[in-house]
Amino acid sequence: MGNKRYRWWPVALLIVLAVFGLRRLACESGDSHEATPTTAADRERAGGAALRASSRAALDDEGPDEDGAVADGLTLAGRVIYPDGRAAGGAAVRLLSRPSGAPHASMTRRIARTDANGAFALARQAQGDYLLEAETEDAVSPTTPVRLVAGSQPVTLMVFPSAALAIHVRSAVDHKPIPDATVKLGIGSGLFGASDAYMLERTDAAGVARFKGVARIDNHPVYAVADGFAGTFDNIRANEHLLSDWDVTIDLQPGGEVSGRVIDERGVPVPGAKVGWEPGQGERDGAYTFVTPLADGGHYIAAVTDATGAFHKTVPPGLGCLVAVHPSHLTAQACGVRTAIGQPRTGVQIVMKSGAKISGIVVTADGKPAPRAEVIVTEPSWEHIPRLSDSYRSRTTTDAEGRFSFDGVDRMPLAVTAWTDDASSDLVELDMRGTADKQGVRIVLANTGVLTGTVTEEDAGPAPFAIVSYFIAPDISEIKFVKTEAESRGLALPKSIGATLCDADGKFRVAGLPPGVYTLRAQRPGATSVPPQYSAVWKEKVALGSNVTMVLPGLGTITGRVVDGDGRPVSTYVVSFAMFEPAMQNAAMPPGRPVESADGALKIDGVPANKYIVAVTGPGIVEWRTSRPIEVRGGSVTDLGTITVTTGTTITGRVLSRAGEPVRNADITMATADKPDVYQHASSDDEGSFTLPVVKKGTVMRVRASTESTTSDWVAVAPGATTVDIVLSDPTRGTVRGVLVDPEHPVIDRVIVLTLPGAGAPGEGLKPEATTTALDGGRFTLDNVPAGAYVLWAHRAQAKPGDEWVSRPITVAGAKDTSIVIDMTQEPTP
Amino acid sequence: MTRLLVALALVTACSKSSDPKPAPAPAPPPPPPVSTSGSATDPTLVKFCTQCYFKVMDCFKDAQFWQIFSTMYFANTNLAVDDTEREHWIGVMKEDMLKLYNEHGFEQNCQASLEHTKAPSEKSVKAVTEAANASCAAFASAFGYMVFNEGAFHQPK
Contact A821 B64 (CB under 8 A): no
Question: Which among A741, A818, A823 has the least Cβ separation from residue B80?
Answer: A818
A593 vs A14 pLDDT, higher one: A593
Of residues A491 and B140, the one with the higher pLDDT is: B140
The pLDDT of residue A20 is: 27
On whether any CB of chain A is under 8 Å from the CB of B6, the answer is no
C-alpha to C-alpha distance for A217 and A188, rounded to whole angstroms:
10
Q: What is the mean pLDDT of residues A479-505?
A: 73
Q: How many whole angstroms separate alpha carbon A134 and alpha carbon A92?
A: 5
CA distances to A648, A650, A718 from A697, rounded to whole Å, are 5, 9, 11
Q: For chain B, give the percent of residues with pLDDT over 70.
A: 75
Long-range contacts of A677-680 (CB under 8 A, 24+ apart): A677/A586, A677/A757, A677/A758, A677/A759, A678/A586, A678/A758, A678/A759, A678/A760, A678/A765, A679/A756, A679/A758, A679/A765, A679/A766, A679/A767, A680/A588
Is B14 a residue whose pLDDT tops 90?
no
Contacts of B145 in chain A (CB under 8 A): 739, 741, 821, 823
Residue A26, pLDDT > 60, answer: no
Domain A652-727: give its CATH code. Answer: 2.60.40.1120
pLDDT (mean) for A147-166:
94
C-alpha to C-alpha distance for A508 and A607, rounded to whole angstroms:
25
- HEC string for A411-463: CCEEEEEEECCCCECCCEEEECCCCCEEEEEEEEECECEEEEEEEECCCCCEC
Q: In what order do the strands lie in the sheet with A637-644?
A: A601-608, A555-563, A637-644
Distance from CA of A347 to the nearest CA of B (A): 39
Tell me the pLDDT of chain B averaged across its residues: 75
Long-range contacts (CB closer than 8 Å, 24 or more residues apart) made by A11-15? A11/A773, A12/A295, A13/A295, A13/A296, A14/A385, A15/A771
Choices 2.60.40.1120, 3.10.150.10, 3.90.480.10, 2.120.10.30: CATH for A356-445: 2.60.40.1120
3-class secondary structure, B123: helix
CA dist., res. A295 & res. A658, Å (int): 34
Cβ contacts of B127 on chain A, cutoff 8 Å: 743
| A489 band by pLDDT with thresholds 50, 70 and 90 | low
The CA distance from A334 to A270, in Å, is 15
Q: Which CATH number fits domain A3-13+256-350: 3.30.930.10, 2.60.40.1120, 2.30.40.10, 2.60.120.260?
A: 2.60.40.1120
Which chain A residue's Cα is nearest to B129? A743
CA distance A396 to A418: 10
d(CA B103, CA A425) in angstroms, rounded, equals 54
Query: Which residues, in sequence order, are bridge partners of residue A518?
Result: A472, A542
Q: Does A368 touch chain B (CB under 8 A)?
A: no
Give yes or no for B63 touching A (CB within 8 A): no
In the stretch 318-357 of chain A, residues with CB closer than 8 A to chain B read: none
Alpha-carbon distance B131 to nearest alpha carbon in chain A (angstroms): 9
* pLDDT of A274 higher than 90: yes
Q: Tell whether A741 lies on the interface with B, counting CB pairs under 8 A.
A: yes
**Residue B152 burial (10 A CB sphere; 0-12, 13-18, 19+):** buried
Alpha carbons A738 and A727: distance in angstroms, whole number: 32
The shortest C-alpha distance from A820 to chain B (Å) reads: 5
Q: Which residues of A touch B139 (CB under 8 A)?
A: 777
> Mean pLDDT over residues B117-124, rounded?
90
The alpha carbon torsion through B147, B151, B155, B157 (nearest 10 deg) reads -130
Write down the pLDDT at residue A468: 97
pLDDT score of A264 more than 60 = yes
- For all residues of chain A together, what is the average pLDDT? 85
Q: With CA atoms as reference, report the closest residue to A412 among A395, A394, A393, A429.
A: A429
B26 has a pLDDT exceeding 60: no
Collect all residues of chain A within an 8 Å Cβ-Cβ radius of residue B11: none
Q: How confident is the model at residue A107 (pLDDT cuts 50, 70, 90)?
A: low
A733-826 under CATH 2.60.40.1120, yes or no: yes
Do residue A779 and residue B130 have CB atoms under 8 angstroms apart?
Answer: no
Give the Cα separation of A489 and A475 in Å (integer).
8
Measured between beta carbons, the chain A residues lying within 8 angstroms of B72 are: 739, 819, 821
> Using CA atoms, how far apart are residues A801 and A798, in angstroms rounded to an integer?
10
Q: What confidence tens digit (pLDDT) does each residue in A170-217 have?
A: 998 888 999 999 999 999 998 998 887 889 999 999 999 999 999 999
Q: Is residue A808 less than 8 Å (CB to CB) from chain B?
A: no
pLDDT recorded at residue B35:
35
Asked whether residue B37 is domain-assigned, the answer is no
Residue A636, pLDDT score = 96
- Interface contact B64-A738, CB threshold 8 A: no
Nearest to A779 among B67, B76, B134 (CB): B67
Does position A156 have pLDDT exceeding 80, yes or no? yes
Q: Give pLDDT, residue A488.
A: 52
Q: Which domain holds residue B138?
A: 2-17+42-149
Write out chain B residues lying below 8 Å of A775, CB-based.
Answer: 64, 137
The pLDDT assigned to B115 comes to 87
SS (H, E, C) A217-249: CCCEEEEEEECCEEEEEEEECHHHCCCCEEEEE
B8 or A625: which carries more pLDDT confidence? Answer: A625
Name which of A734, A713, A799, A805 is nearest A763 in CA terms.
Answer: A805
- Residue spans per domain, chain A: 3-13+256-350, 64-160, 356-445, 449-551, 555-646, 652-727, 733-826
pLDDT digits (tens, 9 = 90+) for A722-769: 999 999 876 578 899 999 998 888 888 888 999 988 878 887 778 888
Separation of alpha carbons A233 and A518, rounded Å? 34
Dihedral in degrees, nearest 10, Cα atoms A270, A274, A280, A282: -50
Q: Does B149 touch chain A (CB under 8 A)?
A: yes
Arithmetic mean of pLDDT, A358-374? 96
Q: How far is Cα B49 from Cα B114, in angstroms, rounded to an integer?
A: 9
- Please name which of A130, A153, A191 lies closest in space to residue A387, comparing C-alpha atoms: A191
Bridge-partner residues for A161, per DSSP?
Answer: A139
Q: Do A483 and B135 touch (CB under 8 A)?
A: yes
- For B129, the 3-state DSSP assignment is helix
* CATH no. of A64-160: 2.60.40.1120
CB contact under 8 A, B80 and A816: yes
Q: Note the pLDDT of residue A142.
A: 96
The pLDDT value recorded for residue A629 is: 92
Split into its structural domains, chain B has a count of 1
Give the E-state strand segments of A155-239 in sequence order: 155-158, 160-161, 163-171, 182-186, 198-202, 208-214, 220-226, 229-236
Three-class secondary structure of residue A4 per DSSP:
helix
pLDDT at position A10 over 60 = no
Q: Would residue B156 count as lying in a domain?
A: no
| Cβ–Cβ gap A776/B135 under 8 Å | yes
H or E segment and range at residue B111 = helix B106-116
In the sheet with A497-501, reading across from the earlier edge strand, the strands are A497-501, A467-473, A517-523, A537-543
pLDDT tier for residue A476 given thresholds of 50, 70 and 90: very low
DSSP string across A619-665: TTEEEEE-SSPEEE-TT-EEEEEEEE-EE-B--EEEEE-TTS-B-TT
CATH architecture for the domain at A555-646: Sandwich (2.60)
Nearest chain B alpha carbon to A743: B127
Of B137, B148, B149, the CB nearest to A779: B137
Contact between A819 and B80 using a beta-carbon 8 Å cutoff: yes
Confidence at B21, pLDDT banded by 50, 70, 90:
very low
* Average pLDDT rounded to a whole number, residues A470-484: 57
Q: Is residue B133 part of a domain?
A: yes
Per-residue pLDDT, A686? 81
Average pLDDT over residues A687-710: 88
Give me the sheet containing A303-304, strands edge to edge. A303-304, A274-279, A318-326, A329-339
Q: In chain A, pLDDT over 90 holds for what percent of residues?
A: 57
Tell me what pLDDT residue A595 has.
93
B137 CB neighbours in chain A (<8 A) are: 775-779
C-alpha span between A753 and A771 (Å, rounded):
4
Q: Are residues B22 and A813, on separate chains, in Cβ contact within 8 Å?
A: yes
- Judge whether A640 is closer than 8 Å to chain B, CB to CB: no
Whether residue A584 has pLDDT greater than 80: no
Residue B10 to residue B89: CA distance in whole angstroms: 8
Predicted pLDDT at A499: 95
Mutation for testing the A interface, residue in B141, B147, B149, B150 having most A CBs under 10 Å? B141
Query: Are A737 and B22 an interchain contact pair (Cβ–Cβ within 8 Å)?
Result: no
Which pLDDT does position A106 carry in this prediction? 67
Partner B contacted by A483 (CB < 8 A): yes
Q: What is the crossing angle of helices B83-102 and B43-58, to 10°?
A: 120
B105 SS3 class: coil
Put simply, the chain B residues between 104 and 123 with a CB less than 8 A from any chain A CB are none
Q: What is the pLDDT of residue A108?
A: 63
Per-residue b or e along A144-158, where b marks 16 or more CB atoms closer than 10 Å to that residue's CB: bbbebeeeeeebbbb
Q: In angstroms, rounded to a whole number, what is the distance separating the alpha carbons of residues A258 and A347?
A: 8
A3: distance to nearest CA of chain B, Å? 13
| pLDDT value of residue A354 | 94
CA distance B40 to chain A (A): 31
Say if residue A515 is exposed, middle or buried (CB neighbours under 10 Å; 0-12, 13-18, 19+). middle
- Inform me whether the pLDDT recorded for A486 exceeds 70: no
Q: pLDDT tens, A239-259?
A: 888 888 999 999 999 999 999
Look at residue A501 and tell me whether its pLDDT is greater than 80: yes
What is the rounded CA–CA span in Å between residue B128 and residue A333?
41
Q: How much is the pLDDT for A71?
A: 67
pLDDT per position as a tens digit, A398-423: 998 999 999 999 999 999 999 998 99
- Condensed to tens digits (0 to 9), the pLDDT of residues A376-401 reads 999 887 888 888 888 899 999 999 89
Per the CB < 8 Å rule, is B64 touching A776?
Answer: yes
Nearest to A4 by CA among A774, A795, A820: A774
A733 contacts A787 by C-beta, under 8 angstroms:
yes
Residue in A775, A777, A816 nearest the CB of B81: A816
Superfamily of chain region A449-551: Carboxypeptidase-like, regulatory domain (2.60.40.1120)
Q: Residue A739 and residue B72: Cβ atoms within 8 Å? A: yes
